Amino acid sequence: MEQINNGGHTQQKEADSEIQKICDWVKPHAQAKAGKTFDIFTAKIYTTQVLAWTKYCVKVHVGGDDYLHLHVQEKLRCFGVDMELTHIEQGKSLDDPIGHS
């Protein structure tokens, strides 16, 4: 059974191909919000929280020592498969903890 932290979020996990697919899907939206283009966009770690949707917080490497934190919501399957990039946090490093909102 997966252990949940006090905020209802899972512990950090290594990003897999499914998380990378989510990041690939939201990349154009993240670039628009950031006002820049990212040649590198590699998911590294993530957490999830399941409510009436699944909320992902993903640390993404965007080149050099730069990282973004993406906050993505995905509706549960019974409501469809809509995904939304709710916001990004820029100027993050590898050591910055993933934030939740």
What the chain holds in terms of domains, given with CATH numbers, is 13-92 (3.10.450)
Q: Is the pLDDT of residue 7 over 60?
A: no
Which positions ≥6 away from 58 have C-beta within 8 Å? 15, 19, 22, 23, 43, 44, 45, 46, 69, 70, 72, 98
pLDDT per residue as tens digits for the range 10-66: 889 999 999 999 999 999 999 999 999 999 999 999 999 887 778 999 999 999 999
pLDDT per residue as tens digits for the range 13-25: 999 999 999 999 9
CA neighbor of 49 nearest in space, from 74, 86, 21: 74
Beta strands in the chain (DSSP E): 13-14, 42-50, 53-63, 66-75, 83-92
Predicted confidence at residue 98, as pLDDT, reads 87
Provide the whole-model pTM. Answer: 0.83
Alpha-helix runs per DSSP H in the chain: 17-34
**Residue 56 CA: distances (Å) to CA of 11, 39, 64, 73, 78:** 12, 22, 24, 6, 18
